[in-house]
Amino acid sequence: MPEPIRIFDTTLRDGEQSPGFSMTPEEKLRLAHPLEELGVDVLEAGFPIASEGDFLAVQTIARECRQTSVAALARAVEADIRRAGDALRPAARPLLHTFIATSDIHLQHKLKRTRAQVVADTYTAVRLAREYADEVEFSAEDATRSDRDFLLEVLAAALEAGATVLNIPDTVGYSVPHEYAALIAFLRERLPGVDKAILSVHCHDDLGLAVANSLAALAAGARQVECAINGIGERAGNASLEEVVMALRVRADALPYVTRIRTEKIYPVSLQLAEITGIGVQPNKAIVGRNAFAHTAGIHQDGMLKSPLTYEIMTPSTVGIASSQLLLGKHSGRHALQARLEQLGWRVEREQLDAVYQAFLQVADRQKLVADDCLRDIALGAGLAQLPGPAPAAHSSAVATQ
């Protein structure tokens, strides 16, 4: 049987730390409900000590979202933890998430603390967090650049103090997949009592490896992935929720895991995030980019018209997109052109197709995409007959295939 994987969504916390992605409490709440409906296991709502607005956002989401765990972030500092605990009081399923850095780089340059002090801070923070929530996650910030033996010591202190989730972040996106998997395997082998907690991973995309690292960690024994819609987050972003989830779904043969995510809701949530922040995804973004199910090459379009299986490994509807599109441009072939003209209500006889296609290419060489209005002009110029019945309204140069 496939093993369940918890999806910890940090769109509203780490995600909004992206430049330009900051959200008001009202905007966070607007997105929190769709995230809950999406089926995330944990919804990290904010960092309550950071501002009054973040405290209010966490408190309101904790009150209103009853079907998912609601998490609040806190440094391993008493004031942070108490503030996070207060914000989570209305939650049906509170999760208090506390963290401290464990790499010598951070200890020396940022924290100005010794290793012994960090171990003590970890234990004290987790014990205090357990006073506010039965579920406590401890994160060893910059774990992938930490000394392994020291990392074991810190995680052991967190376990002893009552942590139920141990998060192993690749905070600066430094790891490569085989290295990250080896770290997870090392912790599973060497950390006493590791089975009493869920091993979690939180990967950043500085080298473009966040999703690959997350999947490698699952294969090595991690059972929670921290990720964000559209991959937003600090610097280059977090592991993309939609990419992790759809990789597990499409490649269930190689990745025998399941999530609670209702995948048909992925695209609507992606659009809502873009609408709230005013920042969309790049066109070629996997799963949710506008080109993810768009085809322009003639060979690809011909294959798609014969069977979508030729060039698509998932159907658009599985992520909430209505259909694939064959976009008409200079790389398009006769088959796609004929299909779109017929969709627009024009009969294209075999002996007319070459002339129509040459006229189409003359237009396509001058503009990136050929719109339906241009196709109608080409059809009229070639003397094509109209098919019986009302012609559809022109709106794009796309052939819908599914």
- In this predicted structure, the answer to whether residue 23 has a pLDDT above a threshold of 70 is yes
- For the record, the structure tokens of 76 come out as 């391993």
Q: Count Cα atoms within 13 angstroms, Cβ side, for 223.
A: 14
- For the record, the structure tokens of 372 come out as 């339906």
Q: Long-range contacts: 76-79, Cβ < 8 Å, 24+? A: 76/100, 76/121, 76/122, 76/124, 76/125, 77/125, 78/124, 78/125, 78/128, 79/49
Q: Residues 221, 268: one domain?
A: yes
Q: What is the structure's pLDDT at 302?
A: 85
Tell me: the pLDDT tens digits for 95-122? 999 999 999 999 999 999 999 999 999 9
Q: What is the structure's pLDDT at 298?
A: 86
Q: Residues 223, 108: one domain?
A: yes
Identify the band that residue 212 occupies on the pLDDT scale cut at 50, 70 and 90.
very high
Q: Residues 314, 258: one domain?
A: no
Q: What is the structure's pLDDT at 1?
A: 86
The sign one gets for the Cα dihedral 25, 28, 30, 35 is: negative
- In this predicted structure, the answer to whether residue 393 has a pLDDT above a threshold of 60 is no
User: Residue 53 to residues 1, 50, 148: CA-CA distances in angstroms?
Assistant: 43, 8, 38
- For the record, the structure tokens of 143 come out as 């774990």
Q: What is the structure's pLDDT at 395?
A: 52
For residues 201 and 168, what is the distance between their CA atoms, to the nearest angstrom? 5
Helical (H) or strand (E) element with 246: helix 241-250
Using an 8 Å Cβ cutoff, are 98 and 140 in contact?
Answer: no
Residue 47 lies in a domain: yes
Q: What is the structure's pLDDT at 246?
A: 98
Least confident of 16-30, 151-165, 338-352: 338-352
Comparing CA positions, the residue from 108, 101, 113 lying closest to residue 75 is: 101
Tell me: the pLDDT tens digits for 7-17? 999 999 999 99
Helical (H) or strand (E) element with 159: helix 148-161
Q: What is the structure's pLDDT at 356?
A: 92
Compute CA 31 distance to the chain's CA centroid, rounded to the nearest angstrom: 14
Q: Residues 183, 209: one domain?
A: yes
Residue 257 lies in a domain: yes
For residues 126 and 386, what is the distance between their CA atoms, to the nearest angstrom? 73
Which of 248, 277, 306 corresponds to the end of one domain?
A: 277
For residues 100 and 378, what is the distance between their CA atoms, to the nearest angstrom? 65
Q: Residues 172, 247: one domain?
A: yes
Torsion of CA 31, 36, 39, 40, to 10 degrees: 80
Q: Residues 348, 246: one domain?
A: no
Comparing CA positions, the residue from 104, 31, 106 lying closest to residue 65 is: 31
Tell me: the pLDDT tens digits for 283-332? 999 999 999 999 989 889 889 989 999 999 999 999 999 989 888 999 99
Q: What is the structure's pLDDT at 326?
A: 87
Is the pTM higher than 0.85? The answer reads: yes
- In terms of residues, how long is the chain? 402
Residue 187 lies in a domain: yes
CATH number of the domain that residue 238 is part of: 3.20.20.70
Q: Residues 64, 158: one domain?
A: yes
Q: What is the structure's pLDDT at 387?
A: 87
For residues 116 and 158, what is the distance between their CA atoms, to the nearest angstrom? 13
Q: Residues 201, 157: one domain?
A: yes
Which of 243, 277, 311 corresponds to the end of one domain?
A: 277
The sign one gets for the Cα dihedral 181, 187, 188, 194 is: negative
Residue type, position 192, single letter: P
What does pLDDT average to over the chain? 95
Q: Rg for the chain (alpha carbons), in Å? A: 26
For residues 247 and 68, what is the distance between their CA atoms, to the nearest angstrom? 23
Q: What is the structure's pLDDT at 392?
A: 55
For residues 312 and 292, what is the distance between their CA atoms, to the nearest angstrom? 9
Q: Residues 128, 252: one domain?
A: yes
Around Cβ 165, how many Cβ atoms within 10 Å? 23
Identify the band that residue 388 occupies on the pLDDT scale cut at 50, 70 and 90.
confident
User: Residue 200 to residues 39, 167, 310, 368: CA-CA distances in angstroms?
Assistant: 18, 4, 36, 45
Residue whose structure tokens are 């080896």: 182
Q: Residues 242, 322: one domain?
A: no
Percent of the chain with pLDDT over 70: 97
Q: Residues 267, 359: one domain?
A: no
- In this predicted structure, the answer to whether residue 365 has a pLDDT above a threshold of 70 is yes
**Structural domain containing residue 327:** 294-400
Residue 194 lies in a domain: yes
Based on the structure, what is the number of domains in the chain? 2
Q: Residues 218, 303: one domain?
A: no
- In this predicted structure, the answer to whether residue 49 has a pLDDT above a threshold of 90 is yes
